[in-house]
Chains A and B, each alone.
Chain A
Amino acid sequence: MFYREAGDFNTSYAEDQQTFPIKFDRYRYYVVLFIAIFVVPFIINDYWANSFLLPFLIYAIAAIGLNILVGYCGQVSLGTGGFMAVGAYACYKLMTAMPDVSMFIHVLLAGLITAAVGVLFGLPSLRIKGFYLAVATLAAQFFLVWLFNRVPWFYNYSASGQINAPERDTFGILITGPNTEAWATYMFCLIFTIASALVARNLTRGSVGRKWMAIRDMDIAAEIIGVNPLRAKLTAFAVSSFFIGISGALFFSIYLGAVEVGEVFGITKSFLVLFMIIIGGLGSIFGSFAGAAFLVLLPVLLKIVGVDWLGWPTDIVAHLQLVIVGGLIVVFLIAEPHGLAQLWRVAKEKLRLWPFPH
């Protein structure tokens, strides 16, 4: 009843083109933003920040990045973990080399460096397609992790081979290191997440995004109608790696604080982010958020139900989690290949007609 475009008169092209054409949607979006910015920081505590909110925000950025590459441009990548590692190590080197510069700039620079690395590993995509490419991106995954493990310059010759985030602040507020406050780290990540989503949304509906989708749907046909596959694919790799680099930098500096590269940014991380976008929905920004939230919440929920309520040993719950995640992937691919985002879309269509569906 409330979910209608009726009575909402657009008087300019800008209004006609807006992301949320339905009034109810638009207000819902503003309310979500308002709660995220003005309510959550005041009620947040360490448990919620570390077990759900921070990983959710950071994975959402990674999922948006990967979704651009896989969902919009159709180039399957299994190198997400490696690219996140690039972001993390770039951020670490910048933080230690230039302690006085704001963290915002470090994180953005880390994203740019990752984008350059991404373009480098994206070059073969011009010749290699489909899962040949998927396997080729594994080269990036394994090579990068090995590189950060073996070359001492990257971890500043520390004895343990780990990297530890030193204490850094931005605008006088401490946001990395062990003595941070939950609301500060949350706000820092939130800013990046909102900015990423806005940029990604507007890129994907503009000419760049249309070119990506043309390449995804059929690259030869796209080439014939005048899309330059070199530029389209490499921009997709660059933008995607930029987001993934930012998320890697945040994951290391804000969320974990200390990283051992093989453990944190291994192949399982690549699969985790890939699963997020499959479950959430390929080719959808909302799907990236939904998938990230789902896969961050699932282990927490399973732990609460399995370990705390039923009293099962943790290893059984961990194995059950594998079964459930794997099973869900298959179920989603069979029943709803477009993921949670499609369920959301269907629900909205239903709402528009409700209560008179015929």
Chain B
Amino acid sequence: MPEQLAFTIEVFLNGLMAGVLYALVALGFVLIYKASGIFNYAQGVMALFAAMTLVGIQNGQVPFSHLINAILGTDVHHFGWHVHSAIAIVFTVAVMVLLAVCVQRFVFRHLVGQEPIILFMATIGLAYFLEGVADLMWGSEIKSLNVCATEGACLPQGLNMWIDETTYNAFGYGFFIDNLDIVASIVAIILVVGLVMFAQYTKQGRAMRAVADDHQAALSVGVSLNFIWILVWSLAGFVALVAGIMWGAKSGVQFSLSLIALKALPVLMLGGFTSIPGAIVGGLIIGVGEKLFEFLIGAPFLGGATENWFAYMLALLFLVFRPQGLFGEKIIERV
């Protein structure tokens, strides 16, 4: 196999992996958008918040310690214990559920019936708020995140040697693929299957779909909108936690984590806001597209770093020809 082609295939595979991670974030958007019509810009910050909370609980950090120290003149930092990952995850999920309740109770309950664009701006405000709270709670320095089931059985780091060797024997060229990316892909697939099963076969899932279909009809047959919205925000918080763990383990828990939300936006536009398969396919297209574009055209001819804008441009051009995205519902406008 010629070197260039093998290289391209490797880039393609890495793009697929990146795409899965984008799709993971996009999934959270779709969940909330379908059930409540809210375009949740804060999804990326929720991932950041979840990852920071997880690290904080794991390391036994005292929440708001900086603020407490500044006000009271004390010097508290850590409780001095380390929490097992599984327990920490349970606690973090609890925090995300609490957050969902608060968001529903204090923000979106008061904004029912507003225009979608107002709701969108409210989520931008929420994103800023949450980012500030996360920084105040746990400090803004870069933290490393490692989730371990038992001692030594952590999320794998580094390259997958097995793929490297096998492909080297088969093609004479070893593919470099991160272990973490493989794990992330598997987790994402499990998550998607789980969510689809939940939506299709459970009572709450059915109620969720009913709300997504028609708020008023769902209300009239006795579905509690409040409960469903809290449920949906909690689910989105859970998805954010998973995305936060994956991205956090990859590149450290830091502010740039919240920017992956911006990357998920073109994914959504490409796939359509209302479609779970759309989020996956869109994520894969964007992931592969931007990596290949950077490799084949961006780096050699345009001076590199085209990944910053390629996804948006692709989505923009695509939308001009198909405004509802790949799998979105057709937009019908009436006066």
Contact = CB atoms under 8 A, between A and B. Distances in A.
Interface of A: 76, 124, 127-132, 134-136, 138-139, 142-143, 145-146, 149-151, 218, 220-221, 224, 267, 271, 274-275, 278, 310-313, 315-316, 319-330, 333-334, 337
A109 B128 CA distance: 35
A143 B125 CA distance: 24
Which of A129, A132, A267, A274 has the most chain B CB atoms inside 10 A of its CB?
Answer: A132
B129 A322 contact: yes
Contacts of A275: 125
B111 A143 contact: no
Contacts of A315: 66, 135, 140
Given A322-B131, A325-B128, 11 more contacts: A128-B323, A136-B312, A138-B265, A139-B315, A149-B305, A220-B334, A271-B124, A329-B122, A329-B125, A333-B121, A337-B114
Given A127-B320, A136-B269, A319-B136, A146 B309 contact: yes
20 contacts: A131-B117, A136-B312, A136-B316, A138-B312, A139-B315, A146-B305, A150-B303, A220-B333, A220-B334, A278-B121, A311-B70, A312-B71, A322-B131, A322-B132, A323-B129, A324-B132, A326-B132, A329-B121, A329-B128, A334-B122
A143 B306 CA distance: 8
A131 B116 contact: yes
Nearest to B42: A326
Interface in B295-335: 302-306, 308-309, 312-313, 315-316, 319-320, 323, 333-335
Contacts of A323: 128-129, 132-133, 136
A313 B66 contact: yes
Contact of A312 (B70, B130, B133): B70
A65 to B, nearest CB: 18
A326 B316 contact: no
Interface size class of B (residues with CB under 8 A): 35 or more
A146 to B, nearest CB: 5
Interface of B: 39, 66-67, 70-71, 107, 110-111, 114, 116-118, 120-122, 124-133, 135-136, 140, 262, 265-266, 268-269, 302-306, 308-309, 312-313, 315-316, 319-320, 323, 333-335
A128 B136 contact: no
Contacts of A139: 309, 312-313, 315-316
Contacts of B335: 218, 220-221, 224
A132 B319 contact: yes
Find the residue from B118, B128, B302 having the highest chain A CB count within 10 A. Answer: B128
B315 A131 contact: no
Interchain residue pairs A-B with the least CB separation, the first 8 = A329-B125, A326-B129, A322-B132, A326-B128, A323-B132, A139-B312, A142-B309, A319-B135
Nearest to A317: B70
Given A132-B269, A138-B262, A323-B136, A333 B315 contact: no
B118 to A, nearest CB: 6
B131 A326 contact: yes
Contact of B70 (A145, A267, A313, A324): A313
A333 B309 contact: no
Nearest to A330: B125
Contact of A131 (B120, B133, B136, B303): B120
Contact of B129 (A327, A334, A337): A327
A301 to B, nearest CB: 16
B305 A129 contact: no
